[in-house]
Amino acid sequence: MLNEKVIELLNAQVNKEFYSAYLYLQFANFYVDQGLSGFANWYKIQAQEERDHALLFIQYLQNNDVSVTLEAIDKPDAVLQNNMDPLKAGLKHEQYVTSLIHTIYDAAYAVKDFRTMQFLDWFVKEQGEEETNASDLIKKMELFGSDPKGLYMLDQELGGRVYSAPSLVL
């Protein structure tokens, strides 16, 4: 049986993951408007990943006989004025999500909820990858974004990204 505080945090994370999907769809829409379909593709796939993360949290709660509480998802509020804004906002958001995962992990650790800690291990690793990817995109944009040919090539690279569902076994 899961601890009430851990349940509360896991339920809240469902909402946060769906919000992340909304935020990344906002980024994708911004890039569509800029004519950068590769960047849009990259963030649409990010949105799919975040949705699947929410579904993993839901499944974990259900597998532990916990009712899931779905809350309203806030409208994304990122101010996007140039091509770098979504990238920087994305890194900041991933760092925030990492802090949320660490908070849940800490709560599970405090009550010796080893099953939840094991479930969260995948997310800890995933967040490390997410932060690295976001940081790498910023570096690439800083290197190539001001050159039209470089931006075109970067957009083409990001357009080649395909979706791969998470391989977490619950």
Residue 97 domain boundaries: 4-159
Does 170 fall in a domain?
no
- Whether 65 is covered by a domain: the verdict is yes
Query: Does residue 24 fall inside a structural domain?
Result: yes
pLDDT tens over the chain, length 170 residues: 899 999 999 999 999 999 999 999 999 999 999 999 999 999 999 999 999 999 999 999 999 999 999 999 999 999 999 999 999 999 999 999 999 999 999 999 999 999 999 999 999 999 999 999 999 999 999 999 999 999 999 999 999 989 887 766 66
User: What DSSP designation does 167 have?
Assistant: -
Q: Structure pTM?
A: 0.94
**Residue 117 domain flag:** yes
How many domains does the chain divide into?
1
The answer to whether residue 106 is domain-embedded is yes
Residue 168, domain member (yes or no):
no
Report yes or no on 164 lying in a domain: no
3-state SS of 70-120? CCCCCCCCCCCCCCCHHHHHHHHHHHHHHHHHHHHHHHHHHCCCHHHHHHH
Q: What is the CATH number of the domain that holds 129?
A: 1.20.1260.10
